[in-house]
Amino acid sequence: MSVFTDLVFEAGLVARSLGDYFSGGRLRLGVTGLSRSGKTVFLTALVNNLIAGARLPVLAASAEGRITRARLEPQPDDAVPRFAYEEHLASLGGPDRRWPQSTRRISQLRLTIEFESASGWGSKPSSLAIDLVDYPGEWLLDLPLLDKSYATWARETLNASETPARAPLSADWRAALGGLDAHAKADEDTARDIAERFTAYLRKARDDVYALSTLPPGRFLMPGDLEGSPALTFAPIPLGEGDAIASGTLAAMMERRYEAYKSHVVKPFFRDHFARLDRQIVLVDALTALNSGPAALADLENALSEVLRAFRAGRSSRFASIFRPRIDRILFAAAKADHLHHTSHDRLEAILRALTAKAIARAEGVGATIDVIALAAIRATREAEIRHGGETLPAIIGVPEKGEKIGGQLFDGVAEAAVFPGELPADPMAIFKGDGIALAESDNDWRFVRFRPPLTAPGQPAPQIRLDRALQFLFGDRLA
Ligand code: GDP
């Protein structure tokens, strides 16, 4: 049965690709990244800049004055929630100037750009419908589960939880496993208790202080619409090597739910959404990891290779029967570059290049062009030179969020602050050594300082950094 549905699905995909080919002027752009990497802000700024007709000098069609109009249209997929663009924009531009609600699940929006084509003889009117698909990057980390048995996954996850960085965080869950008999009769209360403790461990590891990257199952931290559902009520439990799993036992219950998670949650996501994307931007919060030091950076490097593995899969025979990605451009973007002085933007890009180098080298031959950029979809700061003890230092100025602290000073969400963000190292490899980068003066612990969104004139999009360059890479060629 499952082979049959896979075949039907494949046929559907082929038909859809042909349809897309003949109608032309359509592109599905995926926006992903781990939690709080800046997906919602990026997508809101992208749409806002294009609809408002903002000046985007590096986007060729914009620089050449060929974009006539950009507008939102009803999306073609009725079963996918709409990206709440208007709500996000209102939140940024409202009297309180708040950052929008972050991505919790998949959502979608169709933006149609009308433009004058520059190709051929003279210009002719054309349009490009871009389906923007925003989804949690955590979901991509589930791919390796598809060909992994419950017993293998349970063993690997338990081993990872015992490593020095994770052991203290997983102690409570592992203690509860101690008194457990995997071969005892299945019991819902026990299953729920173990699943809750396991989820609490995953959540703790992701906290800012540890900044460890997420382990699968991705939906345990980003459940989307599955919050509280039995599909998420399972966890690894220790099984002896080669143990047979008898029916009716706790182990059997866990295994069944794990398999259900794979077939009802993971597979449909890859087939129905991921496989249909043409282009992809992966946002990365490299600054938080930089501030946490080499362990967090190594962890981020791993998570990024896992993410890139999803793009490579399907071109290899392992997953080819399940889905076949057709993505031909992938952009890795270090977000929130407005936390740095512009002299460090190229260095941030070099660091992200170093973080993704191994994964990209392995992805050679995926048939996709991959690039790396540092950007700020919304620039919340401005730059200044400040005289400090006879020296002139480059600074950034913004309004820290209410309750934020810098060097003992508590902010009220109204007053501006100047911070000296320090310089990133010229040699990107330096980040993998030592105790993390002192990005600020030692008594100015600005690492977790969040600035409020900037004040903008009505109807005007917020300023940005290199957003236009990102857009040129992602779809500039389709506006030629
Ligand atoms: P998501 O979880 O990937 O959707 O992340 P968001 O887009 O909600 O971003 C998470 C937080 O990062 C926001 O609430 C902002 O505080 C911050 N952020 C995101 N993008 C930017 C940016 O371009 N500039 C600045 N200064 N902060 C940003």
DSSP string for residues in 302-322: HHHHHHHHHHHTTTSHHHHTT
Q: How far is the CA of 262 from the centre of ligand 1 (A)?
A: 30
* 298-301: Cβ within 8 A, 24+ apart: 298/432, 299/165, 299/211, 299/212, 299/213, 300/211, 300/213, 300/355, 301/355, 301/356, 301/358, 301/359
Whole-number pLDDT of residue 439: 47
| Ligand 1 touching residue 338 (CB < 6 A) | yes
**Could you identify the atom of ligand 1 that is nearest to the CA of residue 37?**
3
| Ligand 1 touching residue 38 (CB < 6 A) | yes
In this structure, the answer to whether residues 18 and 124 fall within a common structural domain is yes
In this structure, the answer to whether residues 309 and 357 fall within a common structural domain is yes
Whose CA is closest to atom 10 on ligand 1? 36
Q: How far is the CA of 288 from the centre of ligand 1 (A)?
A: 12
Residue 450 domain-assigned (yes or no): no
Q: How far is the CA of 333 from the centre of ligand 1 (A)?
A: 13
In this structure, the answer to whether residues 352 and 423 fall within a common structural domain is no
In this structure, the answer to whether residues 299 and 310 fall within a common structural domain is yes
Residue 116 identity (one-letter amino acid): E
In this structure, the answer to whether residues 390 and 375 fall within a common structural domain is no
| Ligand 1 touching residue 336 (CB < 6 A) | yes
In this structure, the answer to whether residues 23 and 97 fall within a common structural domain is yes
Q: How far is the CA of 102 from the centre of ligand 1 (A)?
A: 8
Residue 405 identity (one-letter amino acid): K
* Cα distance between residue 269 and residue 413, in whole Å: 40
Whole-number pLDDT of residue 460: 92
Counts of helices then strands in the chain (DSSP H, E): 14, 12
Q: How far is the CA of 67 from the centre of ligand 1 (A)?
A: 28
Whole-number pLDDT of residue 348: 94
| Ligand 1 touching residue 421 (CB < 6 A) | no
In this structure, the answer to whether residues 326 and 475 fall within a common structural domain is yes
| Ligand 1 touching residue 83 (CB < 6 A) | no
Residue 448 domain-assigned (yes or no): no
| Ligand 1 touching residue 446 (CB < 6 A) | no
In this structure, the answer to whether residues 160 and 232 fall within a common structural domain is yes
Residue 453 domain-assigned (yes or no): no
Domain end point (choices 231, 265, 299) = 265
Instruction: Fill in the DSSP letter of residue 265.
Output: I
Q: How far is the CA of 340 from the centre of ligand 1 (A)?
A: 15
Whose CA is closest to atom 8 on ligand 1? 102
Domain end point (choices 241, 265, 289) = 265
Range of the domain at 281: 2-135+273-379+464-479
Residue 287 domain-assigned (yes or no): yes
* Cα distance between residue 196 and residue 201, in whole Å: 9
In this structure, the answer to whether residues 13 and 127 fall within a common structural domain is yes
Whose CA is closest to atom 15 on ligand 1? 99
In the chain (480 residues long), the average pLDDT of successive 10-residue segments reads 40 44 73 94 98 97 96 91 96 93 94 87 82 94 90 93 90 94 92 94 78 79 82 89 87 95 92 93 90 80 84 67 80 95 93 90 76 97 88 90 85 89 83 58 52 92 97 96
**Of 281, 471, 301, 279, which is closest to residue 367 (Cα–Cα)?**
279
Whose CA is closest to atom 25 on ligand 1? 336
Residue 409 domain-assigned (yes or no): yes
**Could you identify the atom of ligand 1 that is nearest to the CA of residue 285?**
12
In this structure, the answer to whether residues 256 and 295 fall within a common structural domain is no
| Ligand 1 touching residue 452 (CB < 6 A) | no
Q: Residue 288: give its domain's CATH number.
A: 3.40.50.300
Whose CA is closest to atom 24 on ligand 1? 336
Q: How far is the CA of 92 from the centre of ligand 1 (A)?
A: 11
Neighbours of 252 (CB within 10 A): 17
Query: DSSP string spanning 252-264?
Result: HHHHHHHHHHIII
**Could you identify the atom of ligand 1 that is nearest to the CA of residue 33?**
3
Residue 27 domain-assigned (yes or no): yes
Residue 457 domain-assigned (yes or no): no
| Ligand 1 touching residue 297 (CB < 6 A) | no
In this structure, the answer to whether residues 27 and 130 fall within a common structural domain is yes
| Ligand 1 touching residue 249 (CB < 6 A) | no
Residue 455 domain-assigned (yes or no): no
Domain count within the chain = 3
In this structure, the answer to whether residues 293 and 259 fall within a common structural domain is no
Residue with tokens 């959502």: 107
Alpha helices in 188-331 (DSSP H): 188-206, 250-261, 267-272, 286-292, 294-312, 317-320
Whole-number pLDDT of residue 435: 54
